[in-house]
Amino acid sequence: MADVNLRGVKKQFGALSVIKGVDLDVKDGEFCVFVGPSGCGKSTLLRMIAGLEEITSGALSIGGKDMTSVGPSERGVAMVFQSYALYPHMTVAENIGFGLKMTGHDKALIAERTAMAAKMLQLEPLLLRKPGQLSGGQRQRVAIGRAIVRNPEVFLFDEPLSNLDAALRVQMRSELSKLHQDLKATMIYVTHDQVEAMTMADNIVVLSAGRIEQVGSPLELYHRPNNLFVAGFIGSPK
């Protein structure tokens, strides 16, 4: 079980208060989407869940376990970034397996997990290519493959599709929804794209200036926004 629970979570960068007290419960297996204007703290919140950024105060637990002194690699989470920085000199297969290799997993396990991820992401014919020989969408799939092989209970996505063109975004959206169904993992997904939020989310978290304005299903937010700010962020329901 990999619920993600935040209680009174705050983040300061020096004098700058970026996250101002967030309480949030993401259920095991939920697809939760964070939306909000640029600079409101979406990435910071995600990075704190990943363990890439320390929490200034408050509590975070994953799967019921307090994460205060748990390092990023022991949290059972994997993050997929917007700029997916693949290693240009390595093949697709090597890129996908690299994290596992670094953490000392044996070759057989790496090969098995890489094959599974490649199948899931339709990368099988491309495993021996280098990133320079891939399209943007294929590169983003490799980045997702890197996360899948780690077998995480929680996936964290930070605007993973924002570098892709509109048609590819639509395709990747349904691929990610399918992936969510197949893996049954908890997914927390940051986007500034309302359509992505409305079509992919079980629950949407609307953030503004380091606080949660509202949490609810796409339909709840559409029909009963708490305020004009939330209404402004919500497009049409699925």
Binding footprint of ligand ADP on the chain (CB under 6 A)? 13, 16, 18, 36, 38-44
Which of Mg ion, ligand ADP, none does residue 33 bind (CB under 5 to 8 Å by kind)? none
**Which of residues 35 and 121 has its CB atom nearest to ligand ADP in the complex?**
35
Rounded to a whole number of angstroms, the minimum distance from the CB of residue 162 to ligand ADP is 11
For residue 5, what are its two tokens?
A: 């629970």
Please pick, from the candidates 5, 43, 114, 203, the single residue that binds Mg ion as defined by CB under 5 A: 43
**Which of residues 13 and 87 has its CB atom nearest to ligand ADP in the complex?**
13
For residue 71, what are its two tokens?
A: 């390092």
- Give the span between the Cα atoms of 98 and 73, in whole angstroms: 14
**Which of residues 41 and 97 has its CB atom nearest to Mg ion in the complex?**
41
Please identify, among the stretches 35-43, 93-101, 202-210, 230-238, the one whose residues bind Mg ion according to the rule CB under 5 A. Answer: 35-43
For residue 102, what are its two tokens?
A: 């670094």
Rounded to a whole number of angstroms, the minimum distance from the CB of residue 66 to Mg ion is 26
Rounded to a whole number of angstroms, the minimum distance from the CB of residue 43 to Mg ion is 3
Burial label for 129, CB within 10 Å (0-12, 13-18, 19+), is: middle
How many angstroms separate the Cα of 162 from the Cα of each of 21, 136, 166, 171, 197?
28, 11, 9, 13, 13
- Give the span between the Cα atoms of 116 and 57, in whole angstroms: 39
Binding stretches for Mg ion (CB under 5 A): 43
